[in-house]
């Protein structure tokens, strides 16, 4: 199987889907002629024509609003928001429209569509190129929220999202686009080709939405992570030598709570990590659910390692980012025998 970067895997998912299904269309700012500022849609306009892959005006409201209309018609739109930080102008169309259309019309109209957006920091992008707004989607009934951590999942999950009958928010950790970044920013960059999960088949396949996966089995503590933080968790486990069980959630809503509960019941300890702002981040939901469901198995409180409650800073990126050091400290704390 060919090794692909995350970008290539995402592109391949769209390519395969456009090939199989004429209803699939792709658009966004700089997405058409140029192929996207991160090159995820490169070549698609040439291959499928400008009416299936095109540039849009700089209006996130318009991009998502038009997608809702297209989906209501019966197309399968894939809308790209250039950075997750720029999704706010589209938030009304996402929350009030895409998410609620099926419910409010009792199935008369639906919005099967994907909104893709690069998220997360680690590229010195400061407050408007670094955000992780997943919790703003997980709070909204009617949305599914997906976030892959590697090329294999990225392709499979994106195809599953395109074929899903509900609106799916597809978050792409941009720091993973070109390599499996583990938070050791001072070490040489590792390419995806060195990572087994960059084996991405050419053909169509899906990774199911709503299914987490255990990335590393362990007995000392359960780590709940997604996106870039899966790699950070792996680094922290390695750095500390703690036998952590690392769960890659892959889908935040609907959440694969069974996999989580099974693990925490085994380890009795749990650390939740994410890059987003701490207060009301998705980690709060995870911590709340774990203590609700595993209370009598827990030896320690569920710990959260997250971005701070500040806007994402520019120069202090690495002080903000919850890297392997901070995660490692939490692993130590969670597993300490006191």
Partner 1 sequence: MAEHTPLSLHVPAPPTEEGGRQSSSLPFSAAGAVRRPPVDVDPREIRDLAFELIRVLDDDGNAVGEWAPELDVETKRNGLRAMMKTRAFDSRMMKMQRQGMTSFYMQCTGEEAVACAFQSALRKGDMNFPTYRQQGLLIAQDWPVVDMMNQILSNSADRMKGRQLPVMYSAREAGFFSISGNLGTQYIQAVGWAMASAIRNDTKIAAAWIGDGSTAESDFHAALVFASVYQPPVILNVVNNQWAISSPQSIAGGEKTTFAARAHGYAIPALRVDGNDYLAVRAASEWAAERARRNLGPTMIEWVTYRVAPHSTSDDPSKYRSKAEEKGWPLGDPIERLKTHLIRTGEWSEERSVQLAAELDAEMSAAASEARALGTLHDGPRLSPATMFEDVYKDMPRHLREQRQQLGY
Q: Give the footprint of a copy of itself on this chain (CB under 8 A).
A: 85, 88-89, 91-92, 95-96, 99-100, 103-104, 127-128, 135-136, 138-142, 253, 276-277, 279-285, 287-288, 291-293, 295, 298, 300-304, 308-311
CA distance 100 to 140: 9
Given 86, 185, 308, 318, the residue binding ligand TPP (CB under 6 A): 86
Q: Which of partner 1, ligand TPP, a copy of itself, none lies near 261, with the C-beta cut-off 5 to 8 A by kind?
A: none
CA distance 57 to 324: 40
| Beta bridge pairs of residue 305 | 273
316 binds partner 1 (CB under 8 A): yes
Instruction: Draw the binding track, 151-180, toward partner 1 (x: CB under 8 A; -: no contact).
Output: --------------xx--------------
Rounded CA-CA distance 282/229 in Å is 13
Cis amide bond preceding 254, omega within 30: yes
Q: How far is the CB of 39 from ligand TPP (least distance, A)?
A: 15
**Residue 1 vs 288, nearer CB to partner 1:** 288
- Say which entry of partner 1, a copy of itself, ligand TPP, none residue 282 contacts (CB below 5 to 8 A, set by partner kind): a copy of itself
User: For residues 94-133, which are near partner 1 according to CB under 8 A?
Assistant: 96-97, 101-110, 124-129
**Residue owning tokens 């792709």:** 26
Among 185, 239, 314, 333, binds partner 1 (CB under 8 A): 314
Report, in Å, the least distance between residue 152 CB and a copy of itself. 27
Partner from partner 1, a copy of itself, ligand TPP, none contacting 105, C-beta within 5 to 8 A by type: partner 1
By CB under 8 A, the residues from 219 to 248 that bind partner 1 are none
Residue-by-residue DSSP string for 52-86: TEEE--S-HHHHHHHHHHHHHHT-EEEEEPSSGGG
Q: Considering the rule CB under 8 A, would residue 319 count as an interface residue with partner 1? A: yes
Among partner 1, a copy of itself, ligand TPP, none, partner that 66 touches (CB below 5 to 8 angstroms by kind):
partner 1
Q: Measuring CA to CA, which residue among 175, 170, 182, 147 is closest to residue 5?
A: 175
CB of 58 vs ligand TPP, minimal distance in Å: 5
Q: Where are the beta strands (DSSP E) in 157-258?
A: 168-173, 213-216, 221-225, 244-248, 251-253
C-beta of residue 6 within 8 angstroms of C-beta of residue 155 = no
Joined tokens for residue 308? 């701070």
The binding track of 143-182 with respect to ligand TPP, each residue x by CB under 6 A or -, is: ----------------------------------------
| 129: annotated active-site residue | yes
Distance CA 329, CA 324 (A): 8
Nearer to partner 1, 158 or 305 (CB): 305
Rounded to whole angstroms, the Cα distance separating 168 from 1 reads 28
Tokens (6 digits) for 287 = 């911590």
Sites for ligand TPP among residues 49-68 (CB under 6 A)? 58, 60
**H helices of the chain, where?**
6-20, 44-48, 60-73, 91-92, 101-104, 134-138, 151-163, 228-240, 257-267, 282-294, 317-320, 324-335
Exactly one of 129, 152, 231, 274 is catalytic; name it.
129
205 binds ligand TPP (CB under 6 A): no
User: What's the CA gap between 14 and 68, in Å, rounded?
Assistant: 19
Q: Which residues contact ligand TPP (rule: CB under 6 A)?
A: 29, 58, 60, 82, 86, 89
- Residues annotated as catalytic are 129
């Amino acid at each position: 199987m060919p090794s692909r970067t995350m970008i290539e895997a995402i592109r391949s998912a769209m390519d395969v889907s456009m090939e199989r299904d004429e209803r699939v269309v792709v658009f966004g700012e700089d997405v058409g002629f140029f192929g996207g500022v991160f090159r995820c849609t490169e070549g698609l306009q040439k291959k499928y024509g400008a009416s299936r892959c095109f540039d849009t005006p700089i209006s996130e409201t318009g991009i998502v609003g038009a997608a809702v209309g297209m989906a209501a018609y019966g197309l399968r739109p894939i809308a790209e928001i250039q950075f997750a930080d720029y999704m706010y102008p589209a938030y009304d169309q996402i929350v009030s429209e895409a998410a609620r259309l099926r419910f409010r019309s009792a199935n008369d109209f639906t919005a099967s569509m994907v909104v893709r957006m690069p998220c997360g920091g680690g590229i010195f992008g400061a407050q408007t190129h670094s955000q992780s707004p997943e919790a703003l989607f997980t709070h909204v009934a009617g949305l599914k929220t997906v976030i892959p951590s590697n090329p294999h999942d990225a392709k499979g999950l994106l195809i599953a999202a395109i074929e899903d009958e509900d609106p799916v928010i597809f978050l792409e950790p941009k720091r993973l686009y070109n390599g499996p970044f583990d938070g050791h920013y001072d070490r040489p960059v590792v390419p995806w080709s060195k990572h087994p999960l960059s084996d991405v088949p050419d053909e169509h396949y899906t990774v199911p939405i709503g299914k987490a996966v255990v990335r590393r089995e362990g007995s000392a503590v359960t780590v709940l992570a997604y996106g870039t933080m899966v790699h950070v968790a792996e680094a922290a486990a390695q750095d500390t030598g703690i036998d952590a069980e690392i769960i890659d959630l892959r889908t935040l809503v609907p959440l694969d709570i069974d996999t989580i509960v099974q693990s925490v019941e085994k380890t009795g300890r749990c650390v939740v990590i994410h890059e987003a702002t701490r207060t009301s981040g998705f980690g709060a939901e995870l911590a709340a659910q774990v203590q609700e469901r595993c209370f009598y198995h827990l030896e320690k409180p569920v710990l959260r390692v997250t971005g701070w409650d500040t806007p994402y800073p520019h120069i202090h990126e690495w002080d903000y980012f919850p890297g392997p050091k901070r995660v490692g400290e939490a692993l130590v704390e969670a597993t300490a025998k006191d």
